[in-house]
Amino acid sequence: MVDGKRQDSCPTNRGLCPAIAWVNHKSRGGGERMGWEMGWDAMSAIATAAAAFVFIVTAIIAVVQLREMKRGTIAQAFSAIVSLLHSEKCRKARKVLMNIEEKDFAKWTEDQVDDAEIACSTYDIVGILLRRKVIDHRMVTAEWGQSIVKCWEHAEPMITRYRKGRGQDYWDDFEDLYNKARDLKDQRGKRRERNEPTSKDNPPRTPRRP
């Protein structure tokens, strides 16, 4: 106390000691830095969310594009199959083959052999596309199933002879196509016996061309 007055032990122009002033200054500065750090964290979170959103949108667009491409591929493949099977040459060949009743292949005429080979080769090509799952086999077996079954069964004498010299896998994709068509035919027969309605996957068939 001086002249009856108490004097602070650490007088400053702010009424605070230098140590306290320095602490307060650091605290204020630290608060500012903390605010900046919180701001950067928020901006980083927003940027991350935005990047994730862009990625999701891009992925969705890619999936849609792939689906459209797949639809286009299916349509093109089916169109090619229809054009092949509906060609005059192939239709004639199938008709000749399905009218061959001779079981002894050695007695077939040269023209019968030529047409039978065209019919079998055509269905073997279709079978290759189905094995690679370019399209669903029901798109073919539901429309040409009767023709496929008859062509295979009438061509068996020729196929048996050819496989003896060319291997058991000769026209094996045609055989797989035949098995699928026969299975679908059997399923439909059982469904009719039970008087069950035709499903969406197996719509009623219109009269088939050979």
Q: Which of 22, 50, 76 is the last residue of a domain?
A: 76
Same domain (yes/no): 61, 128: no
* Regions of the chain with pLDDT less than 70: 1-41, 45, 47, 49-72, 193, 196-210
| 202, two tokens | 């197996």
Who's near 160: CB < 8 A, 6+ residues apart?
A: 105
- Tell me which residue has tokens 């009856």: 4
Same domain (yes/no): 184, 93: yes
In a domain, 7, yes or no: no
Same domain (yes/no): 107, 182: yes
What is the CB neighbour count within 10 angstroms for residue 140? 23
Q: Which of 76, 97, 118 is the last residue of a domain?
A: 76
Q: Which of 54, 76, 98 is the last residue of a domain?
A: 76
pTM of the model: 0.60
Look up the domain containing 21 and give its range: 12-76
Same domain (yes/no): 31, 92: no
Whole-number pLDDT of residue 9? 47
Same domain (yes/no): 52, 102: no
Half-sphere exposure of 116 (CA within 13 A, CB side): 24
Three-state DSSP at 90 gives helix
Q: Tally the domains of the chain.
A: 2
Whole-number pLDDT of residue 188? 75
What is the CB neighbour count within 10 angstroms for residue 76? 12
Closest CA to 178 of 139, 209, 147, 133: 147
Whole-number pLDDT of residue 149? 96
For the chain, the first-to-last Cα distance in angstroms comes to 125
In a domain, 181, yes or no: yes
Who's near 145: CB < 8 A, 6+ residues apart?
A: 181, 184, 185, 205, 208
In a domain, 169, yes or no: yes
Same domain (yes/no): 61, 112: no
